[in-house]
Homo-oligomer: A and B are copies of this chain.
Amino acid sequence: MTAPTATPVVVVVGAGLVGASIGCALTARGIPVHLRDQKPSHALVAAELGAGTVEPPVEHDVTLVVAAVPPNALPGVIRDALVRYPGATVTDVGSVKAGVLAALWDSGLELERYVGSHPMAGSQHSGPLTARADLFEDRTWVITPHRRSAPASVAAVAAMVQACRARQVIMDVDDHDAAVARVSHLPHLMSVLMAGHLNSVPAEHLVLAGQGLRDVTRVAGSDPELWEQILGANSAAVLLELRSVQDRLDRVIKAVESPGSGELQAQLCLGVEGTRRIPGKHGATQVAYTQVVVEIPDAPGALGRLFALVGDAGVNVEDISIEHDQVRQVGYLALSVAPDQAPGLTAAMTAHGWSVQP
């Protein structure tokens, strides 16, 4: 952990899911956390769940304050923290950064001690009862320094992010707000759009709902008050995205209106490409696999023997597909494996009499 100048003493203001989870993560690493919430019972429950103590700290000892309150309350809480804890770096976990900074800019406060941040974690749940020390593990946590931020303050926030085992990303405030408009606020509104439409669908039709509808509408079930604040704080960036989607919707409608034009398939293919651009769950770039291709024999139990052989070879198969040769009327199984595992698998299969494509 990049050491801040003093032994860390953290105050978390707001014992909701995110605040209480930060408290749990830091407490688990031995860092003292003091919890505050407008509703003392929330702080009490968070403390009971291991997020820290409700006892107030010695104000001059505090090194870091985390404002984990709803967007509209952020400027006030940050302002208060900068005044009350004169030795502390102050950060927040708000979803939108520019408005908060603008509200503080001409306040005369020591803004070198303020550095915004935004953990890309949470859920449709809220409140301390769902807090988890591992909520941020392997998740992206954006730090948004501004031009007056002191390097030591940026380091203090980075140390907290590291203690929560998140992956730190440094971004400019405006760039961050454009990014979340695209990957979070727009998807939220698309989900709301679809879910809102369901109010006009007869109940007997909703019986046919499958996983697809549930997935698309899940985030629309989140707290509307919180989301009104988030979207309101980022409305300019969100509007740009919405207007772009409006144009795209017009194109999709035209595509459905003109069957056989190839336009609809083009839109569907753009959708597939878009899903592939989302990085893997842990931010990993997609690994390229090697395919080992074997002829499918027309013999009972052959596939069972094949999978047993793959298992014995200790090979992890990432994907399997069937390829069919229409001319020879022969099928092939294509096993996708890590490149370094392909030669061994090929050798083992050939040794057992399988016909492996070169």
Contacts and interface: CB of A to CB of B under 8 A. Distances in A.
Given A44-B331, A180-B208, A199-B277, A245 B191 contact: no
* Number of identical monomers bound together in the oligomeric complex: 2
Contacts of A198: 182, 274-275, 277-278
A139 B203 CA distance: 17
A107 interface: no
Interface string A250-286: 1011001101100011011111111111110001000
A245 to B, nearest CB: 6
Contacts of A169: 207-208
A120 interface: yes
Contacts of A333: 45
Contact of A42 (B44, B210, B272, B322): B322
A197 B186 contact: yes
A268 to B, nearest CB: 4
Interface string A104-135: 00000000000000001111000111000000
Interface residues of A, number: 121
Taking chain A's interface residues, is the majority helix, strand, or loop, or is none over half, making it mixed?
Answer: helix
A48 to B, nearest CB: 4
B227 A219 contact: no
A206 B235 contact: no
Nearest to A235: B256
Contact of A264 (B120, B228, B320): B228
Contact of A275 (B188, B220, B245, B267): B220
B184 A302 contact: no
A128 to B, nearest CB: 7
Nearest to A324: B39
Interface in A176-235: 176, 178-180, 182-184, 186-201, 203-222, 224-225, 227-228, 231-232, 235
Nearest to A129: B320
Interface of A: 39-42, 44-45, 48-49, 120-123, 127-129, 139-140, 142, 169, 175-176, 178-180, 182-184, 186-201, 203-222, 224-225, 227-228, 231-232, 235, 238-239, 241-246, 248-250, 252-253, 256-257, 259-260, 264-265, 267-279, 283, 296, 298, 300-304, 320-324, 326, 329-333
